[in-house]
């Protein structure tokens, strides 16, 4: 009856998915498998309106459609007049809508004038989700993001100046061991310039089919262990201003410490305290906590490692993994994380 794309942010789980473009216009990021092997195309306003008509017919009488997410990876690449027409038609067909959100690449946001973005807001757009991943030029080049830090800053500032809500997505661990400190500090520097409403944390895990696997084999990318990524996040948070931006860790299953969450101007000290508490654990305590968190959906408090019964049950499992070699534990954890990666239609990649 109508088209829908393959991904959306977790925060849009209850949103109506309206496809205005197909796939991703860049589609060269090395970490992201979401659109590989398919071509990007723009949909016409008339095509989208027909889909909206079909959706309106399907949901006639439900009265529950209050939020919409525009798909796919860079919806605002369409001419502003086209997006305005789609937004206005959506609000005509679904008059109870109070939130319309979209993904957009920083380069597209840079090219849109503030006035263009204000027009989109007036037509009904409320939120932009942007996958910056990193603010470090070296990391952006490593993952073939196709962006510069300057473009990310300019695009983000355009959104903020237009009065739209902005979520910037960051990816701890994506720079590997070699670029970790640079990734943390320069990502914080870019975010301090943009001051977005949300900083959404998406801990990096290697997809089994990722082109980055070849980089690992060649030695040009050395993945970080969970405890090292926590250290990177600690450096990032330390370098973020105490601004009224929400640092969001609790909406992504691959984030180890989901409790590192809250407005930076209110919770930064508490976040650093929690990160320091994890980093102060012994190596074995860290391993126990990591294995518990990665082995299921239940979220354990950090002090679980002080429970002698739990330690007695879990430590032998870790020792068994280490019999395969000193890195057997980390290999097993990476295996678990690869199965927790976002799936199409359920979560986001970038």
Residue 326, pLDDT > 80, answer no
pTM for the whole thing?
0.94
Q: Which two tokens stand for residue 1?
A: 């009856």
Question: What was the pLDDT predicted at 346?
Answer: 41
The overall average pLDDT reported for the chain is: 93
Question: What was the pLDDT predicted at 139?
Answer: 98
Count of domains forming the chain: 1
Residue 78, pLDDT > 60, answer yes
Quick one: DSSP state of residue 220? S
The string of pLDDT tens digits covering residues 41-68 is 999 999 999 999 999 999 887 778 999 9
Q: Which helix (DSSP H) or strand (DSSP E) does residue 341 occupy? A: none
CA 310-312-313 angle, 5° bins: 65
The gap between the terminal CA atoms of the chain, to the nearest Å, is 28
Residue 39 covered by a domain: yes
Q: φ, ψ for residue 71 (rounded to 5)?
A: -100, 160
Task: List, as one string, the DSSP characters of 177-206.
Answer: TTTHHHHHHHHHHHHHHH--SEEEE-----
Residue 226 covered by a domain: yes
Residue 19, pLDDT > 60, answer yes
The string of pLDDT tens digits covering residues 236-251 is 999 999 999 999 999 9
Residue 1 covered by a domain: no
Question: What was the pLDDT predicted at 35?
Answer: 84
Residue 5 covered by a domain: no
Residue 214 covered by a domain: yes
Q: Which domain holds residue 151?
A: 10-338
Residue 249 covered by a domain: yes
Percentage, residues of the chain above pLDDT 70:
97
Q: Which two tokens stand for residue 301?
A: 């408090």
CATH code of the domain covering residue 225: 3.80.30.20
Question: What was the pLDDT predicted at 144?
Answer: 96
Alpha-carbon span 96 to 19, nearest angstrom = 20
Q: Which two tokens stand for residue 236?
A: 């990032």
Question: What was the pLDDT predicted at 205?
Answer: 92
The string of pLDDT tens digits covering residues 101-145 is 999 999 999 999 999 999 999 999 999 999 999 999 999 999 999
Quick one: DSSP state of residue 39? -
Residue 348 covered by a domain: no
**Residues 304, 310, 314, 315: is their CA dihedral positive or negative?**
positive
Residue 342, pLDDT > 70, answer no
Residue 2 covered by a domain: no
CA 160-166-171 angle, 5° bins: 125
Which pLDDT band holds residue 13 (cuts at 50, 70, 90)? confident
CA 24-28-33 angle, 5° bins: 75
Place of tokens 């070849």: 214
Alpha-carbon span 151 to 111, nearest angstrom = 9
Percentage, residues of the chain above pLDDT 90:
82
Task: List, as one string, the DSSP characters of 85-132.
Answer: HHHHHHHHH-TT--EEEEE--HHHHHHS-HHHHHHHHHHT--EEEEEE
Highest mean pLDDT pick, 268-277, 297-306, 337-346: 268-277
Which pLDDT band holds residue 350 (cuts at 50, 70, 90)? very low
Question: What was the pLDDT predicted at 345?
Answer: 40
């Amino acid at each position: 009856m109508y088209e829908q794309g393959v991904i959306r942010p977790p925060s849009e789980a209850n949103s109506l998915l309206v496809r205005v473009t197909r796939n991703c216009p860049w589609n060269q990021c090395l970490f992201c498998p979401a659109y590989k092997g398919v071509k990007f195309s723009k949909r016409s306003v008339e095509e989208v309106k027909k889909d909206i008509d079909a959706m309106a017919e399907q949901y006639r009488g439900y009265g529950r459609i209050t939020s919409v997410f525009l798909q796919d990876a860079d919806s605002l690449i369409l001419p502003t007049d086209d997006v305005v027409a789609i937004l206005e038609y959506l609000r005509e067909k679904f008059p109870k809508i109070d939130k319309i959100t979209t993904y957009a690449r920083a380069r597209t946001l840079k090219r849109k004038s503030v006035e263009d973005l204000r027009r989109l807001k007036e037509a009904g757009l409320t939120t932009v989700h942007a996958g910056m991943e990193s603010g470090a030029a070296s990391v952006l080049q490593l993952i073939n993001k196709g962006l510069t830090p300057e473009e990310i800053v300019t695009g983000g500032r355009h959104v903020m100046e237009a009065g739209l809500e902005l979520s910037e997505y960051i990816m701890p661990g994506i720079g590997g061991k070699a670029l970790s400190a640079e990734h943390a500090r320069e990502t914080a520097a870019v975010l301090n310039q943009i001051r977005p409403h949300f900083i959404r944390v998406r801990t990096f895990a290697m997809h089994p089919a990722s082109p980055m696997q070849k980089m690992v084999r060649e030695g040009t990318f050395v993945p970080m262990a969970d405890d090292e990524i926590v250290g990177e996040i600690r450096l990032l948070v330390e370098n973020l201003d105490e601004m009224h931006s929400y640092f969001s860790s609790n909406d992504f299953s691959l984030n180890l410490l989901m409790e590192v969450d809250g407005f930076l101007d209110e919770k930064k000290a508490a976040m650093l305290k929690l990160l320091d508490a994890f980093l102060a654990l012994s190596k074995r305590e860290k391993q126990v906590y990591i294995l518990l968190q990665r082995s299921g959906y239940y979220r354990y408090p950090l002090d679980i490692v002080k429970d002698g019964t739990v330690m007695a049950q879990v430590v032998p499992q870790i020792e068994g993994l280490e019999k395969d070699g000193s890195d057997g534990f980390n290999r097993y954890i990476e295996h678990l994380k690869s199965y927790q990666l976002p799936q199409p239609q359920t979560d986001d990649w970038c």
